[in-house]
Structure 1
Amino acid sequence: MQLADFKILALLPWQDWLALLAFFAAWIGYALFAKRRTESVQSLLATTNRYRREWMRQVTYREVRVVDGVVIQNLSSSPSFFASTTILIIGGLLALLGTSEKATELVKEIPFAARTSTLVFDLKLLLLTGIFIYAFFRFTWSLRQYTFGALMVASAPDPGVFERGEASREEFAERAGRIVGMAAETFNDGLRAYYMSFAVVGWFFSPWWFAIGTAVVVWILYQREFHSDVLAVLRA
Structure 2
Amino acid sequence: MSPLENLHLLTPLDAAALALLWLAFFATGWRIEHPGRAPSVTVLMSQYRRAWMAEFLQRDNRIFDSQILGSLRQGTSFFASTCLLAIGGVLALLGNTEPLQGVAEHIAAVEMPAALWQIKLLPVTLLLSLAFLKFVWAHRVFGYCAVMMAAVPQDAAHPEAAPRALRAGELNIRAAWNFNRGLRAMYFALAALAWLLGAAAMIAATLFVAWLLWSREFSSVPRDILLKPKDEG
Relative to the length of structure 1, the TM-score reads: 0.89
State the partner residue of 1:36. Answer: 34
Match runs of 1:126-165 below 5 Å:
126-159=122-155, 162-163=156-157
Match runs of 1:16-165 below 5 Å:
16-37=14-35, 39-100=36-97, 102-112=98-108, 115-159=111-155, 162-163=156-157
Match runs of 1:223-234 below 5 Å:
223-234=215-226
Unaligned runs of 5+ in 2: 229-233
> CA contact under 8 A between 2:49 and 2:169: conserved in structure 1?
yes
State the partner residue of 1:195. Answer: 187
Say whether 1:166 aligns with 2:159. Answer: yes
Instruction: Report the CA distance between 1:74 and its aligned residue.
Output: 0.6
- In structure 1, distance between residues paired with 2:101 and 2:172: 47
Summarize the Cα distance change of 1:235–1:60 in structure 2 as closer, same or farther, 3 Å threshold.
same
Amino acid at match of 2:194: G
Instruction: Report the CA distance between 1:9 and its aligned residue.
Output: 4.9
Instruction: Report the CA distance between 1:136 and its aligned residue.
Output: 0.4
> CA contact under 8 A between 2:84 and 2:132: conserved in structure 1?
yes
CA-to-aligned-CA distance 1:67-126 (integer Å, 9 cap, x gap): 2111100111111001111111111111112211x1243133332375321101011122
State the partner residue of 2:231. Answer: none
> CA contact under 8 A between 2:94 and 2:118: conserved in structure 1?
yes
Relative to the length of structure 2, the TM-score reads: 0.90
Unaligned runs of 5+ in 1: 1-6
- In structure 2, distance between residues paired with 1:63 and 1:84: 35
Amino acid at match of 2:27: G
- In structure 2, distance between residues paired with 1:114 and 1:201: 17
- In structure 1, distance between residues paired with 2:149 and 2:161: 14
Identity of aligned residues (%): 32
- In structure 2, distance between residues paired with 1:125 and 1:226: 31
- In structure 2, distance between residues paired with 1:45 and 1:172: 23
Counterpart of 2:10 (choices 7, 12, 26) is 12
Instruction: Report the CA distance between 1:35 and its aligned residue.
Output: 2.3
- In structure 2, distance between residues paired with 1:144 and 1:93: 26
Amino acid at match of 2:122: L
Instruction: Report the CA distance between 1:132 and its aligned residue.
Output: 0.7
Amino acid at match of 2:107: P
- In structure 1, distance between residues paired with 2:104 and 2:56: 58
RMSD between aligned residues: 1.7
Instruction: Report the CA distance between 1:174 and its aligned residue.
Output: 2.9
Secondary structure (helix, strand or coil) at the match of 1:187 reads helix
- In structure 2, distance between residues paired with 1:43 and 1:173: 24
